[in-house]
Copies of this chain bind each other. A is one copy, B any other.
Amino acid sequence: MTNHPIGELLPPTRLMLTPGPSCMDPRVYRAMATPIVGHLDPWFTEMMGDVQVQLRKVFKTENRITYPISASGSGGIEAAVLNALEENDTCIICVNGWFSERMAVIAERAPGVTVIRVEAPYGRTVDPDDIRRAAKGKKIKFVGLTHGETSSGVMQDLNLYRGIADELDALLVVDAVASLAGVALDVDRQRIDICFSGTQKALSAPPGMAPITVGSRVEEIIRRRKTPVCSWYFDMAPVMNYWGKERTYHHTPPISLIYGLREALRCVLEEGLEKRIERHRQNQLALVAGLEAMGLEMFVTNPADRLVTVTAVRVPKSLHEQTIREQLLDEFDIEIASGFGPVKGQIWRVGLMGYSSQKNNVLLFLAAFEKVLLDHDFRVPAGAGVGAAVRTYLQSVASDQPVAVGASIR
């Protein structure tokens, strides 16, 4: 009985090889379809504890304050930055792409704060000496950076920046949206004061939450603030109570997403973090080998700087970025991403994150990409991409069989 024109929900079935959202395990969808209970139900508040236990394992931390913020990954940036900064504070933000720039933009909105941007071009890491120079003579509250810059496929060495932050007696704030559970990250050993992520990347949980963890030093800063955080929604002090022992109501969290996150975290921990990280590494190596064998160039020239979860590929001069991407979607239902801002039209970004990081997906993508490139007169030696990728798997199986095989995902 319909008196309304909007029909049944019938989305296409896509393979998402983007920098998020990634594909999700069917187990996670099943969790999402589980009837909800109230957010103050004793069963639910106990279950919140399970999610926190799991998140601590994934972040590798014992931080008490570890929970998923009810917002996208960008909400994680906002919570991290606004809670840490108070009037008259100065912070340094390492800007080497779209999302680290977003951190700066958000910090600049905090009332009475000075934000120093230390920049590097897209595709490069920020030079520690530039940070030292920018900080000279100033009291720096924190150094903020992205671990993995989704916009350009660059990964930065956290230990290096921890060292700089130590020199400045500053906190370290890390955007791990694109890295958590796909790249090695150890909040406690690397002494990250605030670390946040997004659910829809290497965790392969549904989009809409931003896991965050803060150390005791930051907890103290938050408790001792003289002025309230200008955003009530992202003020961590009261939310810490809802996710703390008290379970005091703050806002109604997205219950179904928490169910999905719980299940996704179970998948991560059942596979094992080390195996999962190795799976991500192997699949990206295969992808890069395949793309290079097809005659394509990586945007990040230094392999050590490449973000394992997102591979940025230069668009050859003879090709139109968007046309290729659209054909891949229309003909093969495979989604990859474009570049933003200064690299718009110049790069493709291929995500291999979480459940999407599978041998099958790498091989299928390379095969489909070959077909699309050939249609646009970009000459690819027959089967070169797939052939090169397959060979990286052979080597890895030979040298290190137990590591290359995941619990349920290869």
Contacts and interface: CB of A to CB of B under 8 A. Distances in A.
Contacts of A12: 37, 41, 43
A11 to B, nearest CB: 5
A231 interface: yes
B253 A207 contact: yes
Contacts of A20: 252
Q: Which secondary structure dominates where chain A touches chain B?
A: loop
Contact of A72 (B70, B77, B198, B337): B70
A361 interface: no
B253 A208 contact: yes
A206 B4 contact: no
Nearest to A27: B9
A53 interface: yes
A258 to B, nearest CB: 9
Nearest to A6: B50
A249 B339 CA distance: 12
Given A3-B272, A21-B39, A200 B252 contact: yes
Interface stretch (A168-176, A181-189, A260-268): A260-268
A256 B32 contact: yes
A74 B262 contact: no
A42 B12 CA distance: 10
Contacts of A397: none
Contacts of A145: none
A30 to B, nearest CB: 7
Contacts of A109: 228-232
Given A11-B44, A233-B234, 19 more contacts: A1-B408, A2-B270, A3-B270, A4-B269, A6-B54, A6-B269, A11-B36, A12-B41, A30-B33, A70-B75, A71-B75, A72-B251, A74-B250, A77-B232, A106-B232, A206-B255, A208-B208, A208-B255, A249-B340
